[in-house]
Amino acid sequence: MSTALLYSFGGILLIGVALHRLVLTTDLLRRVVALNVFAAGIASLLIAAAYRGPEAAADPVPHAFVLTGIVVLVSTTAAALALIRRLDDLERSVDHDT
């Protein structure tokens, strides 16, 4: 079995694990982490697809996609976490009022 295929299956398992938790968990912070794991799985798939063996240079186009994806992911994560903190502040003030 080729190295790329092996790592692809690893990526698929990451996607599976992350998706399972993403759907079932109700905790918001855990959902954000699951989303990040999910993205790592997809990135692994793309990078495994770009692999051309130990001697040849890998395909740079999927690498560029993943790099862009990492930036967008950290942005998304930051926005989601800001929403979580905001929600928490609001819940706190409601608790305080009652």
Partner 1 sequence: MLLWLVFDLVLIGAIVWLAWAALAARDGFEMIVLFMVLGLFVALAWVRLQAPDVALAEAAVGSGITGALLLKTWRHRRGRAAGDAAADARPSRALGFGVMGLVTVLTGMLAAVLVLIPRPAPSLAETVFANLAVSGVDNPVTAVLLNFRAYDTLLEVVVLFAVVVVVWLLGDAEADRRAPRLGSIFFGFARLVLPVMVLIAGYLLWLGGFAPGGAFQAGAVLGAVGIVLLLGRLYTPTAADRLPARLVFGLGTVGFAGAGLATLALGNAFLGYPPEAAKTWILVIEAMLTVSIAATLAGLFFGAAPSGRPTRESDR
Can you tell me the distance from the alpha carbon of 4 to that of 17, in angstroms, rounded to the nearest whole number?
A: 20
CB of 77 to partner 1, least distance (A): 6
Q: Is residue 6 at the binding interface for partner 1, with CB under 8 A as the rule?
A: yes
Task: Give how far Cα 76 sits from Cα of 32, 51, 83, Å.
Answer: 9, 28, 11
Main-chain phi, psi angles of 54, to 5 degrees: -70, -20
Give the binding-site size for partner 1 (rule: CB under 8 A): 71
98 binds partner 1 (CB under 8 A): no
Site membership for partner 1, residue 43 (CB under 8 A): yes
Closest distance between partner 1 and the C-beta of residue 2, in Å?
8
- Radius of gyration, CA atoms only, the chain: 18
Kindly identify the residues of this chain, within the stretch 62-91, that bind partner 1 according to CB under 8 A. 63-64, 66-68, 70-72, 74-79, 81-86, 88-89, 91
- Residue 83 CB, shortest distance to partner 1, in Å, is 6
Q: Which amino acid is at 12?
A: I
Strands (E), the chain: none
